[in-house]
């Protein structure tokens, strides 16, 4: 690789970087992707567990993820619907475990309150342009308070407030007091409406899965780019002129190009050295978009026994350790698979535990919800993202108070020959695979415009 | 430097790193400091302006900064008192500029309100142990709200609330809605009481200056360490075993030691690669302690003409651009020097302006406060820290909601042979030079304990 030359360098072989490279190639430009890890996929990671593809990272797409549906079709990756029949189980407010119907009866008032707040959020979110959240009429006000403080001010009953927190943390993977209210509205607006986002909704962001595992997508993209991809090449330094870049990787390897697309999260982009150094404005942004904290844990059983009880495998709990779960059985296999989410505080706390302790606590939770058979899984695997050196947190980058209004304009704005991708820079479905594709295509289009027009 | 060996490597020749190295040397251990910049001093930076030492970085010490007084005495750096005679001028709430006496008369009620809140803060801060803020009885509650939200809830009149914001931003250098209330209380408690910290107080943190400039301190320390100091050596990678470290710097240079002290701000420490990678717990902390934003601007006049008017050169303003100023004349020189502070939002906004625009706006402000003579400075200089590659923001690192309670324990805890210094890890006068000395001595003591006991 020393002395390797390309038209355009791409940092990161996550979905966004792969899409950018493929788009460049299609426009007649030669890309070279430098990936720090020894695999492609970034926040997409499918691991084999007893012959089953377990999605430790990104798992679903939703009905409005047009780019992803088109991509899967093009790559020949088949899709299948997420199982969604039956009742959810609830364990909230000291009631013990209740089935959905009973919960909805008992807490009809609280659920109506929640619904009202979600409609209010949907209304406010329409004022936010996801490409420029800082221009919203009330941006200054909304960016000065946390989403949690806004939630607290809605006069919700404890059960409704707890449900709202659980739903929101299921998306942000950090507690709502850590992000600005403007950031929450941005997140909602990049996805459409809250019903697209939040748990319990039919449709939404989690309707569809990939046969063979999500990793088939980056794998097949990478197969089309083998001559343009270097693994195990952590970028340490980007030297940039007006129309040239030289990249130095760990171990002394270098590569040269005319432009570069940095397709990693803003925080990771901030850890690269730039020569000349980037502005304080850009740099301070990258100091203020930390990645969130999420873990997934999978239990495999001989069959999805909860379905026979009329349950959909989804739990909502304020007891935990997991706040939510999902029936994540694999098409074509008879075994039952339950996925438990540990997000935000749950991931932080339980990420410290030994796998054994974590598994035991999660098993106990499953038994409460789905009965004794849950105590006897065949297989178990979990995955935490903060400790993964080349990701350092999932699902995405979140903004605390005043980040959007102060530094937001630096998020995707090119600096000389340096362009920015990664789902965190997307305007539709930011934080999702759909956003990764959008951002990769947008950054590639910027480069194509600069080099070929 | 390739193949250079030492007992202990130190990353960063700021005050904390220099003190650590000197302490190690005194204990019979051989240190080697690797400094990324071409100078020592870190956030201490004295620049010559027409023969006057201008403090673009750290400038003052206060009466309780015992370590700094002892250090200055030992190094033969003389001190002199900050000028503090005369009235402050105020420009608040649309009143135009008022002299202190008039302002105090007109707003006596508001100032009494402010005083009450400061006393309340002092009381609450005593519940916070600066070494373990997360153990405070109300830590969870205080860390879930921003300092700004707590301020807003105190029922203050607009003038009192504005004054409180100006005073606080003068310390944190970010708006109060960006930091957790627990972080504010930690900051107060590391310094003693609010009266030690906030503007307008006699005594406090800004009583004393250094003859020849603050940079004399790191310069003289470095002179004692010439054989143990390498400049222009940005550390990119720290390989660490149980009792050994190898450091790789930009340009391919390496150094080896048994232990290492990383004496840079947590965010900068997070930008170094570690092999093996550090835990997600430590890493996520470094993603969540951004450096704040501060600029200083100096105007030099033929004499300190404001003194003859009975003014102390200190302004407090909500009009700006600067919210505060200071008489910063140099002992032994007849010229008048005014220092204007741009902190938080002010630094962010005006840091984007051209120097000419910034200077013009600041000049207009000085004219409003000190009269026509302020329009004709002999000299001007300003300095912004976010754009400085090896600092990336001043004065210090701040924590948003939930950072202390979630990740605080990772701040100063050694990881194998890696120890952490920098003023941001101090328990007394964190963010000040006094804290840098404390942290450097503490980290050195940890290493000495490990290697010699």
- ipTM tops the 0.90 cut: yes
Report CB contact under 8 Å: B280, A149. Answer: no
Q: Flag whether residue A178 sits within 8 Å of chain B, measured between CB atoms.
A: yes
Phi then psi for residue A395, to 5 deg, are -80, -25
Q: What is the pLDDT at residue A1?
A: 47
Give the nearest chain B residue to A251 (CA atoms). Answer: B252
Radius of gyration from C-alpha coordinates of chain B:
22
A175 touches chain B (CB under 8 A): yes
Residue A200 has pLDDT above 50, yes or no: no
Residue A424 and residue A265 in contact, taking contact as beta carbons nearer than 8 Å: yes
A273/B250 Cβ within 8 A: yes
**Interatomic CA distance for residues A314 and A206, integer angstroms:** 13
Q: Is A288 on the interface with B (CB under 8 A)?
A: yes
**Mean pLDDT score, B310-314:** 96
Long-range pairs of B168-171 with CB within 8 A, sequence gap ≥ 24: B168/B198, B169/B323, B169/B343, B169/B344, B169/B345, B170/B198, B170/B199, B170/B323, B170/B324, B170/B341, B170/B343, B171/B197, B171/B198, B171/B395, B171/B431
Partner-chain contact B386 A348, CB within 8 Å: no
In whole angstroms, give the CA distance from residue A436 to residue A424.
8
- Put simply, the answer to whether A345 touches B177 (Cβ < 8 Å) is no
Residue written as tokens 């020959």? A417
Please check whether residue B400 touches A, CB under 8 A.
yes
> pLDDT tens digit string along B326-342?
999 999 999 999 999 99
Of B146, B280, B281, Cβ closest to residue A401:
B146
| B residues 217..236 contacting A (CB < 8 A) | 234, 236
* Average pLDDT rounded to a whole number, residues A152-169: 96
Cβ-count burial B385-420 (b if 16+ within 10 Å, e if not): bbbbbbbbbbbbbbbbbbbbbbbbbbbbeebbbbbb
Q: Which chain A residues touch B281 with a CB distance below 8 Å? A: 348, 351-352, 386
The residue assigned the tokens 């951002």 is A439
Start and end residues for every CATH 1.10.405.10 domain found in chain B: 100-197
Mark yes or no for CB contact A177/B345 under 8 Å. Answer: no
For the packed helices A66-75 and A433-452, what is the interaxial angle rounded to 10 degrees? 80
B258/B448 Cα distance (integer angstroms): 11
pLDDT tens column, A377-435: 999 999 999 999 999 999 999 999 999 999 999 999 999 999 999 999 999 999 999 99
Disruptive mutation site among B150, B290, B295, B348 for chain A (greatest number of A CBs within 10 Å):
B290
Does A27 contact chain B (CB < 8 Å)? no
Are B291 and A287 within 8 A, CB to CB?
A: yes
Nearest CA in chain B to A176: B144
Per-residue pLDDT band at B427 (split at 50, 70, 90): very high
CB within 8 A of B328, min separation 6: which ones? B55, B59, B298, B313, B337, B338, B339
In this model, does residue B29 exceed pLDDT 80? yes
Give A288's contacts in chain B (Cβ within 8 Å). Answer: 290
* Chain A interface includes B415 (CB < 8 A): no
Mean pLDDT of chain A: 95
pLDDT tens-digit readout, B243-290: 999 999 998 899 999 999 999 999 999 999 999 999 999 999 999 999
pLDDT surpasses 80 at A203: no
CATH number of the domain located at residue range(s) B4-43+215-289+398-452 in this protein: 3.50.50.60
CB atoms A280 and B400 under 8 Å: no
Work out the minimum CA distance from B283 to partner chain A, whole angstroms. 7
Q: What's B294-384's CATH class?
A: alpha beta
Which chain B residue lies closest to A401 (C-alpha atoms)?
B178
Which pLDDT value is given to residue B46? 97
Predicted pLDDT of residue B351: 77
Q: Please state the rounded mean pLDDT for residues B285-311.
A: 97
On whether the CB atoms of residues A65 and A429 are closer than 8 A, the answer is yes
Tell me if chain A has a CB within 8 Å of the CB of B416: no
Q: How far is B5 from chain A (nearest CA, A)?
A: 21
Q: What percent of chain A lies above the pLDDT cut of 70?
A: 98
pLDDT, position A202: 54
Asked if B392 and A146 come within 8 Å (Cβ–Cβ), the reply is: no
**Contact indicator for A270, A287 with CB cutoff of 8 Å:** yes
Give the mean pLDDT of A88-107. Answer: 94
Substitution target from B233, B266, B344, B400 for chain A, most A beta carbons within 10 A: B400
With an 8 Å Cβ cutoff, are A386 and B281 in contact?
Answer: yes
Superfamily of domain A101-197 in the CATH hierarchy: Guanine Nucleotide Dissociation Inhibitor, domain 1 (1.10.405.10)
Q: Under an 8 A CB cutoff, do A236 and B271 touch? A: no
Q: Which of B148, B283, B387 is closest, CB to CB, to A144?
A: B148
Q: For chain B, how long is the longest CA-to-CA vector?
A: 68
Alpha-carbon distance A60 to B134, whole Å? 37
What values do phi and psi take at B320, rounded to 5?
A: 80, -165
Answer whether B352 sits within 8 Å of A281, measured CB to CB: yes
| Interface with chain B: mutation pick from A153, A248, A286, A287, highest number of B CBs within 10 Å | A287
pLDDT digits (tens, 9 = 90+) for A218-268: 999 999 999 999 999 999 999 999 999 999 999 889 999 999 999 999 999
List pLDDT tens digits, range B151-190: 999 999 999 999 999 999 999 999 999 999 999 999 999 9
List Cα–Cα distances, B262 to A268, A363, A389, B220, in angstroms: 20, 41, 19, 21
pLDDT digits (tens, 9 = 90+) for A40-96: 999 999 999 999 999 999 999 999 999 999 999 999 999 999 998 999 999 998 999
Domain with CATH 3.50.50.60 in chain B: 4-43+215-289+398-452
Architecture of the domain made up of A4-41+215-290+398-452? 3-Layer(bba) Sandwich (3.50)
- Cβ of B279 within 8 Å of Cβ of A402? The answer is no
Whether the pLDDT of residue A194 is over 90: the answer is no
**Beta-carbon count within 10 A of B202 CB:** 9
d(CA B396, CA B393): 7
**pLDDT tens string B208-221:** 999 999 999 999 99
Nearest C-alpha in B relative to A402: B178
* Residue A119 pLDDT class (50, 70, 90 cuts): very high
Where in chain A are all domains bearing CATH 3.50.50.60? 4-41+215-290+398-452
Q: Which residues of B touch A344 (CB under 8 A)?
A: none
Q: Is A415 on the interface with B (CB under 8 A)?
A: no
pLDDT at position A36 over 80: yes
Q: What is the band of B200 on the pLDDT scale with cuts at 50, 70, 90?
A: very low
Kindly report the nearest CA distance between residue A282 and chain B, in angstroms: 9
Residues of A in contact with B406 (CB under 8 A): 345, 348
Nearest CA in chain A to B277: A389
Mean pLDDT of chain B: 95
For residue B1, the model assigns a pLDDT of 47
Q: Is the pLDDT of residue A165 over 80?
A: yes
Does B93 lie at the interface with A, CB-CB under 8 angstroms?
no
User: For testing the chain B interface, which of A284, A294, A389 should be mutated: the one with the most B CBs within 10 Å?
Assistant: A284
DSSP A93: T
List CB contacts (< 8 A) between A234 and chain B.
Answer: 273
Within 8 A of A174 by CB-CB distance, chain B residues are 402
At the top level of CATH, which class does the domain B100-197 belong to? mainly alpha
Separation between Cα atoms, residue B221 and residue B229, nearest integer Å: 11
Rounded Cα–Cα distance for residues B172 and B199 (Å): 12
Taking residues A333-359, report their average pLDDT: 92
Measured between CA atoms, the residue of chain B closest to residue A266 is B287
CATH 1.10.405.10 domain range(s) in chain A: 101-197
Contact A401 B279 (CB under 8 A): no
């Amino acid at each position: 690789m020393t002395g390797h030359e390309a038209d355009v360098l791409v940092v990161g072989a996550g979905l966004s970087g792969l899409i950018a490279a493929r788009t460049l190639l299609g426009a007649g430009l030669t890309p070279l992707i430098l990936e720090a890890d020894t695999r492609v996929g970034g926040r997409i990671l499918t691991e084999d567990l007893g012959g089953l593809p377990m999605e430790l990272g990104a798992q679903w797409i939703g009905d409005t993820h047009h780019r992803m549906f088109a991509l899967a079709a093009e790559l020949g990756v088949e899709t299948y619907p997420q199982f969604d029949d039956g009742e959810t189980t609830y364990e909230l407010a000291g009631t013990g475990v209740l089935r959905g119907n009973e919960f909805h009866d008992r807490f009809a008032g609280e659920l109506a309150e929640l619904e009202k707040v979600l409609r209010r959020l949907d209304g406010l979110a329409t004022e936010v342009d996801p490409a420029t959240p800082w221009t919203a009429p009330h941006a200054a006000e909304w960016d000065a308070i946390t989403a949690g403080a806004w939630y607290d001010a809605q006069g919700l009953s404890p059960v409704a407030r707890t449900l709202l927190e659980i739903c929101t943390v299921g998306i942000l993977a950090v507690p709502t007091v850590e992000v600005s209210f403007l950031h929450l509205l941005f997140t909602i607006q990049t996805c459409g409406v809250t019903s697209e986002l939040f748990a319990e909704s039919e449709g939404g962001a989690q309707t569809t899965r990939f046969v063979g595992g999500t990793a088939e997508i980056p794998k097949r993209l990478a197969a089309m780019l083998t001559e343009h991809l270097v693994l195990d090449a952590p970028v340490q330094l980007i030297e940039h002129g007006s129309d040239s870049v030289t990249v130095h990787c760990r171990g002394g390897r270098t590569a040269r190009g005319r432009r570069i697309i940095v397709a990693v999260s803003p925080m990771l982009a901030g850890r690269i050295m730039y020569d000349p150094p980037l502005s304080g404005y850009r740099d301070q942004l990258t100091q203020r978009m930390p990645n969130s904290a999420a873990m997934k844990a999978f239990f495999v059983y001989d069959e999805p026994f909860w379905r026979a009880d009329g349950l959909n495998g989804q739990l909502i709990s304020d007891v935990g350790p997991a706040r939510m779960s999902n029936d994540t059985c694999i098409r074509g296999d008879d075994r039952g698979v339950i996925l438990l989410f540990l997000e935000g505080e749950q991931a932080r706390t339980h990420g410290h535990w030994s796998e054994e302790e974590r598994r035991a606590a999660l098993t106990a939770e499953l038994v409460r919800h789905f009965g004794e058979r849950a105590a006897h899984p065949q297989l178990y695997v979990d995955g935490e993202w903060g400790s993964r050196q080349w990701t350092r947190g999932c699902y995405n980058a979140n903004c605390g108070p005043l980040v959007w209004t102060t530094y937001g304009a630096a998020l995707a704005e090119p600096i000389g020959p340096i362009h920015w991708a990664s789902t965190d820079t997307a305007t539709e479905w930011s934080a999702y695979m759909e956003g990764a594709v959008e951002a990769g295509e947008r950054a590639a289009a910027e480069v194509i415009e600069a080099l070929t027009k």
